[in-house]
Structure 1
Amino acid sequence: MERLPTPPRKQAQAHAHAVPPRAYSATATVDGQGIVTGWSDGARLLLGYQPAEVVGHGAARLLADVPGEAVGHGWREAAARRRWGGAVVLRHRDGYRVERHVVAHRRPAQGGTGVEWLIVSAVAGPSHPGSDRALGEWAFDRSPCLLAVFDHDLRLVRASAGMERALSLTEATMSGLRLPDIVPHPASHEAETSMRRILDGGEPQDVHLCLDPIDPRRTWQAGLVPLADSAGQVRAVSLTAHSHAPEELIQHRMRLLSDAGRRIGTSPDTHRTAQELADVAVPRLADICTVDLLDTPRRGEPPPSWSAVGLTLSRVAVRTVTEQYPAPRATDRPRRCAAGSPLAQCLAEGRAAVRSGSEDAVIQWVRDDPQATWIRDSRTHSLMVVPIRADDTSFGVALFGRHQRPDPFDADDLWLAEQLAAKAATSIHSTSRPERQHTSTMALQRSLLPQSLPEQGAMDIATRYLPSVSQAGVGGDWFDVIPLSGTRVALVVGDVVGHGIRASATMGRVRTAVRTLADVDLPPDELLSHIDDLVIHLSAEEAGTDNASETAGGVGTTCLYAVYDPVTRHCTLARAGHPPPAVVTPGGVVRFLDVPAGPPLGLGGLPFEAVETELPEGSLIAFYTNGLLEPRDHDIDDSLDTMFAALARPAQSLDAVCDRVLTSMLTHRPDDDIALLIARTKALDADRVATWDLPFDPATVSDARQLATDQLTAWHLDEAAFITELVVSELVTNAIRYGRPPIRLRLIHDNHTLTCEVFDSSNTAPHMRRARTFDEGGRGLLLVGQLSQRWGARPTSAGKTVWAEQFLSEA
């Protein structure tokens, strides 16, 4: 039965329903005999045919009102071309005509011999008034080329972002100026003469521009085109320019590469090589150059993992054209480089890049990294970030900047910078293996030390770590600060016997074990006993290795462990063969704490003894390793006198105390590692602690809740009352049900935490278990764990204390 033609109105409605709201492409493939071999979903939407209705049939049936012979002639004519485009009238499945512009590409047939045609037609979605004009404005504003428009008086009315970067001037600043005013150079006057001829009816012209009068070797090839209105009247002139490198500039770059071959890599010292790279680049390529090196070369590690955690870099070389502008300094002090910074991205991707000073990523980097503020302060407008990399090993990154030269870096400049960085990387890579191993050991040692001190309110703390410079390599000295329950804090200083990577690795294992045992609140003497067992096991593991004699598994390791309580101002200490700590009273009296020595770790069978002492608020306590007391030029007594004198002198900060001790004690870099930790004690005000002795009676639970609620009201912590009531109820109930009298409830209000503690004289420690469906109990500690941020139990000589800690809101 013949299909009846669809009425025009219904045709339009059906077609409207077939077209999705967004633009799409309709594609089809036709073989050399004119048979349709492919039919896309876009073609189905356009013409209404399902693929089964079209594929395998002649393409001519899709055309409207074209005689068969004409179709054959047109097909033969198109077959002689590689590409054809034009308007065609197609027939919709419902019978109405569809006029479309199509592009046909001739290409090898997919999966066979011969050729086929890929036919494509774009079907536009709903248009928005002014959208085309807006796109044109965006293209003009963001074009990397130099685009400018000069009015009938030859004064600038528009400038692209590329022109702003090239001249380091904003469009608002240049608006209304003539080209010779913007760039005072004879070439500008010649270009303006050509623009005037164009306004008088001349043809488009090509001219040369010089945008940097200081460096006239760089010129720009510019095109001038008249801009006419709809009546044909020339109203303005557009200028489009591209950088043009003359022969002289090419020779200049080749001479720079030749000099780099002679001047970079004259020494095995990596820092000197980095400085040579900066000296060659400035001022011939850049106005400023900085070189940052990794603590250790990264080889074989997947680059994305670096970007995820950031990097530790040391700025070892800087060169600038002048000290007039704010400039970075080579500090040689490792710093953390954020993962999203251009430096970290460059190393993660292993590719050099040109960056603009106005990019969002660069602006964010400058805002977050104090070491990058010079980019903003010196108004550096163009940057190149280049990895220093050789033989699949990354050593660091070089940063090149321009703030005096107006032209930004281009692709040729980037290639030149890559060649300079490659020369430096090759030299660094050829450094002797012992030096690279020493660098790797130092990096491992630094990574195992605390990267930042934890937040706690019991002490003010400052630390220092100085690695050894001896041929034996870096040792295993370490320090740590561990917050404990009840606002207490643990301080640890230790020294693993031996040097090199194995000593550093052993240090990492021992430090991890100390942190783990500290988290379960073991007393200092018991903790050292467990660490002693660990070192014995490590020694047994090392006994069968080739390097057993190098470290002996850490046998002979020393450690000092102390716990300070700001509520009672008591400090409990135990040491294993480590030097005793020095204490400075608020009155300036310096003395050693009398802590029983105990044997070094790993010997086994000998006990450790803890001692408890009271420290007045504001006391200074110094922990250190024996490298501080082993100078070459004076004996141990002189060293102790010097350290005591340095500690006793008043100072504005603990950092100043650390620096003074090291400066007075050391006249040279140490032969052994030095770890130094200095802390000033604080005391928690009595009105921040509330303690109650409770009767051993289940009826006292409600009284305990009321006591806690009243105290929180006095502390203006009513928002924490509900959770605290539940925690107090559960802990007191457990103490009465499973513990022994006496029972004591204590609340501690620190700056940002509220700690609830319940003491009883039983030594049985509670543990969380999962209650079954019909169990009547077993859910109390689960509830406490859900309501508080941390909870636990710590043993004491007379029983145990179960505690729960809440974090208070800023309000």
Structure 2
Amino acid sequence: MTDQSMLRGLSTQSPIALTVYGPDLRVRWINDVLQEQMGLTRSQCIGRYSTELLPQGMILSPGYTGVLEDVMAEVRDTGEPVFDVLYSSPTPADLSHQRIWSCSYFRLSAMDGSPLGVCESAFDITNRYEARLRVELLGRASRIGTSLDVVRTAQDLASVAVPDFADRVEVDLVKQVVAGDQPPPADGERGTSVRRVAERSAQVTSASVPSLGLLLSAETDGPRHLVLTLSARDILLGAVAFTRTVPRHPFTAQEVTLAKELVSRAAVCIDNARRYAREHTTALTLQRSLLPQVMPQPTAVEVAHRYVPTAGPLGVGGDWYDVIPLSGARVGFVVGDVVGHGLNAAATMGRLRTTVRALAALDLAPDELLARLDDLVGQARVGIHRTSSETPEDEALGATCLYAVHDPVTGTCTVASAGHPAPVVAMPGQPPDLLDLSVGPPLGIGGLPFECAEVGVPEGSVLAFYTDGLIESRRAGMDSGMASVRRTLADGASPREVDTGSCCYAASVIVSDCSSYSRSRA
């Protein structure tokens, strides 16, 4: 094989685009495949810089901030070859769509070693790069459904698809889905009422930014408008519409499959959010129905209360409280917290509250009441919580409870705790502080007796009962939460001014100060 035949093959038959640049980095020669890709003749290219031929071109490989002439100048000056530089640009043959090349450069030298120029070999990898963009888009789909909110999830889908996949996306959801109700089956009757919850549009994407639909493609006869159904678990959730406008190519068959995958992922996330919202609403309704609807107002004490359910992804908690009038003008105060969240926690809380009320009617001391409640929780067969073979332990196991009895005749308050934080006491002339209380184990654990603590509460004193959700924070420890409670009591419920209004104010301010905490708080 002669040198001439080899050069002829490289010039006319090679699938790799070849360009020879002179010492001044102007084009000296190109082969036939590059003429075809560029849409220019050899004579139109010779004597010009690459940036003149491809003014919208850009280097995609990391680590390069300049233009191709900078890369070639380094190769010319150092003699070190450079491989696999990704380069993107529309060509004069098609100014609306991009080609992606993998470019490599090596120096051409004379016999004495002096540089004659630089040779460029460029392989068109547009199809491969397009496949890479599809994979990256699927990777970004992990952003969909990071919140348990149906509208936010629909907006996530739109933000992932625009502008990288489509020029416009519209998401409609069945109204029952938005409301958290049960939507119709996927094969139900037509005419289902929907609501648009997300729409996103983009300006015509610049040809210098590689994205799906703006790369050179041989498949240009697909649809420009896709409407796909959002459905999961045989339930109709809504529909998604993807639209592409000129100059972006229509959707290819592979991109239709990709759109279906995105919609399928979004549908599962939307359905999860819908089910969470429905359970959260049900649990909250159940919990509020089990908590005191009207708080009694005994003659010897002024009572104020606040309850704020959790708004986080864990769902409604099992915090509860109660005020129980007793004989002899005495008053029982109860506050507790069930382990877990959701319907089970709310139901368990209701059963514990009912049991405490029944035991309080027996006129038991706080430590004895907690001992009996602990026995009932430890013996699931008694029925504090219905159990099955799959859940052999009572779900009330590990719940905390504090019971206090205030006697206005003696001016004392007797308190016992099963794993629950001690109350804060603010007496006239003294700063608010935690009651010195021996806290026993949570309910159902057993092993240690419960002990009572008795404290004198002269007229004008304030007792603050709470659950741990009030003092636990994601950003600070429980000590910081306790300091906030004491500070608010000192500032907002001065013992000199204790009445129903000031107690309500203190309760509101304490809960407001702890609004960043994630759990339910009573």
TM-score (norm 2): 0.45
Larger Rg: 1
TM-score (norm 1): 0.30
Which of 1 and 2 has higher RCO (CA within 8 Å, sep 6+)? Answer: 2
